[in-house]
Amino acid sequence: MKHVANTLFIGVLVSTGLLAQTTTTRNAAADWPMYNRDLAGTRYSPLTQINPTNVARLTQAWSYRLRPEGKVLAAPSPNEIFQEVTPIVVNGVMYLLSGDRVVALEPETGKEIWTYELKEGLASFRGVSYWRGDRSNPPRIFFTTARKMMALNAVTGEPSTGFGTNGEIELKIPYIGAPAIYKNLILMGSNFFGPGQRHINPALETSVGESGDTHAYDARSGKLLWEFHTIPREGEAGNETWGFDSW
């Protein structure tokens, strides 16, 4: 897989003679609020401004440096950042991860609205998730750091203190993907442990759940609501079909 390091050449392109999507026309159709755009995974945009008659005239609108000039990151890649994600756009704001930072940008210009820098470690390179909030809580941005899931106020970039402890919760099993959001639920899986990979606390590896288990958290409080064991345990439906060393 080829990684694009250090600079994000944004897919927001403009063409001579075309009007860019303006702030006055922001609506749900212009949003890309999650990976694949929707829970059905359609990757379909209903916008028609760019079409077969003008696509050849597109030019680069702007670029954004993922690693600020002179910034040194934590090992193993102190001088390189790569992303394997599509930035999300909600209500005219673009959100993405950049090494040890979470960034909100103006889609039209690439100008920073806010940035949040992690106190330690790196954020996942698989992107962020957006929760629209409710009457008691403003919209939030969720992301993982392998060991934790964190929540930021989508407007200010500050940690959402009502979520977990000061805006973060510990994950029993590491996860580097962008969580799926459904209503007030945060849905996420668990990373597969390949050769040389272990649980962050090997002593708990068999007691906290196998790789692949699915979890649901409350987007408001961070409370774990339920856990589905992909490999059924003793007493659970289907356990009798899983013999020794089953795959």
d(CA 58, CA 15): 4
d(CA 154, CA 107): 15
What phi-psi label fits residue 146: left (phi over 0), alpha (psi between -120 and 50 degrees) or beta?
A: left
**pLDDT at 146 exceeding the cut of 60:** yes
Three-state DSSP at 25 gives: helix
Question: Could you tell me the pLDDT band of residue 77, with boundaries at 50, 70 and 90?
Answer: low
Q: Which of 23-27, 50-54, 155-159, 222-226 has the lowest mean pLDDT?
A: 23-27
Contact 105, 93 (CB under 8 A): yes
| Phi, psi of 23, rounded to the nearest 5 degrees | -65, -20
CB atoms within 10 A of CB 98: 23
112-126: burial string, b at 16+ Cβ within 10 Å, e else:
eebebebeeebbbbb
| pTM for this model (two decimals) | 0.80
Per-residue model confidence (pLDDT) at position 126: 83
Question: Could you tell me the pLDDT band of residue 232, with boundaries at 50, 70 and 90?
Answer: confident
Domain residue spans of the chain: 1-119, 128-247
Average pLDDT in the 185-200 region?
65
Contacts of 90 by beta carbon, 8 Å cutoff, 6+ apart: 31, 32, 33, 130, 139, 154
Contact 104, 143 (CB under 8 A): no
| Distance between start and end Cα atoms, the chain | 27
Place of tokens 């806010």: 114
Q: Give me 184's structure tokens.
A: 């007030």
d(CA 164, CA 136): 16
Place of tokens 């659970």: 236
For strand 63-65 and strand 7-9, is the pairing parallel, antiparallel, or unpaired? antiparallel
Three-state DSSP at 239 gives: helix
d(CA 83, CA 130): 18
Summarised one tens digit per residue, pLDDT across range 196-231 is 444 444 544 444 445 678 899 999 999 999 998 887
Summarised one tens digit per residue, pLDDT across range 147-186 is 799 999 999 999 999 999 999 999 877 787 899 999 999 9
> What is the CATH number assigned to the segment(s) 128-247?
2.40.10.480
Per-residue model confidence (pLDDT) at position 78: 53
